[in-house]
Amino acid sequence: MNPDSKNKSKKEMENERLEIQMLLEAIHQKYGYNFKDYANAHTKRRLAHRLNISNMKNYAQMMHRIIYDEDFFNILLLDLSINVTEMFRDPKVYQKIRQDLIPLLKTYSFIKVWHAGCSAGQEVYSMSILLEEEGMKHRSQIYATDFNEIILKKAKDGIYPLEVMKTYTSNYQQSGGKKDFSDYYTADYDNVILRQSLKEKVLFSSHNLVTDGVFGEMNLIFCRNVLIYFNRQLQNRVLKLFYDSLCPGGYLCLGSKESLKFTDVEDKFEPIAGREKIYKKKRLS
């Protein structure tokens, strides 16, 4: 939040709200990205951050620059994207998947997994490793989607800072990993490059949860720590999209701060692991 906001008058705050509203409309009209149903606090915080470091006076000035400077818009797009994640984030989730979901998924001849809002791909490659270790990779397909083409390219590259590997290794070990985590990457100066084979059953593609429709018939959908940035109306829309994209008996994994409680689809799922936020789509009776 802008530190000067406490000193603003009601009129100034209203003008600022209108400027942000027009800025988001300009982004939608010019580039097709719709952030109008994102949570107000998240959007304002990210816009204020870019406003401050860009030395612009107000959001009206920022809107003008967005319209005429696509490079600046691409920078702002990264600000508004949700790119905070890790490999094997929340290890107990992956441990639960190994213990409770994998035995059932192994009974299927082929499984499809969708990572919606995959960001830079860390959790996508985590799933690829898990499926490989469980002997399921050859009969599975992972779909990794995000609306941001720039961050999607980073995901495809599979290159991460060397400094985060200690955390990733610890997460992997706590999740029930069966090998030496270093087997999955090679070090290159200050970065690590993930093993090429981890990409073999992964299809990266563009998909916007705000505007796009049903995505196949999935056995498992990962969308962790994305919904918290949406308002209630958009959360319900996206959860309905996930319901329609899951096959009967399919699983939905949400983030630690997310839940199906008080949503439009709450009665359409049964909780499998409450603490880990794993749900199963109910079969039609």
Taking the chain, what is the end-to-end CA distance rounded to the nearest angstrom?
Answer: 49
Confidence of residue 6 (pLDDT cuts 50, 70, 90): low
For 62-71, how does the pLDDT look when each residue is reduced to its tens digit (9 = 90+)?
999 999 999 9
The confidence score (pLDDT) of residue 93 equals: 97
Highest mean pLDDT among 24-33, 49-58, 80-89, 132-141: 132-141
Per-residue model confidence (pLDDT) at position 108: 96
By mean pLDDT, which of 2-16, 49-63, 239-253 is the weakest? 2-16
pLDDT score, position 213: 87
The 10s digit of each residue's pLDDT in 112-142 is: 999 999 999 999 999 999 999 999 999 999 9
Mean pLDDT of 79-108: 92
| Over residues 245-250, mean pLDDT | 96
Q: Which of left, alpha, beta for 277 (phi over 0: left; psi -120 to 50: alpha)?
A: left
Tens-digit pLDDT profile for residues 139-174: 999 999 999 888 999 999 999 999 999 999 999 999
Quick one: pLDDT at residue 37? 85
Instruction: Look at residue 3 in the predicted model and tell me its pLDDT.
Output: 47
User: Average pLDDT of 182-200?
Assistant: 95
Kindly tell me if the per-residue pLDDT of 83 is higher than 90. Answer: no
Of 163 and 14, the structure prediction assigns the larger pLDDT to 163
Q: How far apart are CA 11 and CA 270, in angstroms?
A: 47
pLDDT of residue 32: 86
